[in-house]
Amino acid sequence: MVLSGLKKYFHDITALVAMADDGGSTGELRDEMGVLPPGDVRQCLVALAHSPKVRDLFNFRFDSGSFKGHSFGNLFLTALEKMTGDFREGVKLATEVLQVVGQVEPMTLDKSTPVIRNGKKIVRGQRNIEDTAFVKSRPQIWLEPNPTANPNALEAIAQADLIVIAPGSLYTSLGVDLIIPGVGEALARAKAKKVYICNLVTKPGETDGFTVEDFADELERMAGTHFLDCVVYNQNQPARELLKRYAEDGEKPVKASAAKTKKPHYKVRGGDLLSSTIWKNPSKNDDLATKRTLIRHDPDCVAQQIRKLVK
């Protein structure tokens, strides 16, 4: 979402992608083929792709046969990794095929699994963590085995003029990047302005009652350092019918704290970030994904907010 908006206004974009996904097509390919998870990389490539038809091709998902549930893009990236013997080289070739506006870099080239301590219980794996109701709202999280950061990703952070932390699952999409050794330090040292686009709704059992500041503080806790300069959040309420549908699952809009933030190193800025159109899921068999994306960010609105911050 963020990438598809930024590519209209910024050049030389590098997307740094989490490598902890273990569900669906990605999880099956990871387990059966021994490859790094291609799903999130595919989505970033598609967001930055020049040709709409090629984007549709990479997102095409088979609905029958032995490939049922797999997207063409995931299979393509798996084939490239097997052919080249190097996931990063495979991604590079994919950027050429897709005529990508920018670059896509995995945060690590190591295979690792996210783990949390939930009370006295240890939970392993992205999907298992996402299905777990946290005993404490600030869980301990780590990766097994502890990975090494991709040097290209650290270099991109060091050379950036602007760093955007995208909205996403707080622990299994964002946290798994920030806890990689060296990433927090790289963000703290970076001269770029660092902006976090906060989630629109809370996740039941994980971020219940979280404010905008809570999300930002958790990012910095996991990174082990204060690195944010600005946090942007949505201040426009979704339609009442949509709020009711989300509330049935315990998901509520994320709001800024009523009290002024106690973190003087970053600013909190509100804006109208909501999309006014209903997203149509290309997969007819995934009603859950369709419901979860009724309330979503508008790529252009987010990009415009970011442009204001760098002018």
Q: What is the pLDDT of residue 260?
A: 57
- Read off the pLDDT of residues 209-267 as tens digits, 9 standing for 90 and up: 999 999 999 999 999 999 999 999 999 887 778 888 888 888 999 999 876 555 678 99
Q: pLDDT tens digits for 165-188?
A: 999 999 999 999 999 999 999 999
Give per-residue pLDDT as tens, 51-60: 788 778 888 8
The rounded percent of the chain whose pLDDT value lies above 70 is 92
Q: Which of 1-15, 115-129, 174-188, 247-261 has the lowest mean pLDDT?
A: 247-261
Positive or negative: CA dihedral 148, 149, 152, 155 = negative
Residue 104 pLDDT more than 90? yes
pLDDT score of 285: 43
Q: ∠ CA(142), CA(158), CA(74), 5° rounding?
A: 55
Q: What is the pLDDT of residue 4?
A: 92
Q: Using CB atoms within 10 A of its CB, is residue 129 exposed (0-12), middle (13-18) or buried (19+)?
A: buried
CATH topology of domain 145-310: Rossmann fold (3.40.50)
Helix, strand, coil proportions of the chain in percent (round to 5)? 40, 15, 45
Residue pair 173/144 in contact (Cβ under 8 Å)? The answer is no
Please give the residue that has the higher pLDDT: either 278 or 6. 6
Q: What is the pLDDT of residue 283?
A: 46
11 CB-contact burial (10 Å; exposed 0-12 / middle 13-18 / buried 19+): exposed
Q: Tell me which residue of 52, 49, 65 sits closest to 101, measured CA to CA.
A: 49
What is the pLDDT of the chain when averaged over all its residues? 88
Q: Would you say 167 and 200 are in contact if contact means Cβ atoms under 8 Å apart? A: yes
Domain ranges of the chain: 20-106, 145-310
Q: DSSP assignment of 53-80, as one string? A: HHHHHHH-B--SSTTTT-BHHHHHHHHH
Q: How far apart are CA 201 and CA 197, in angstroms?
A: 12
Strand 193-197 versus strand 230-234 pairing type: parallel
CA angle 76, 82, 86 (to 5 degrees): 105
Q: How confident is the model at residue 35 (pLDDT cuts 50, 70, 90)?
A: confident
Is the pLDDT at 155 greater than 70, yes or no? yes
- Give Cβ neighbours of residue 175 (< 8 Å, ≥ 6 apart): 114, 141, 218, 219, 222
Q: Which of 87-91, 179-183, 307-311 has the highest mean pLDDT?
A: 179-183
C-alpha 232/C-alpha 196 separation (Å) is 6
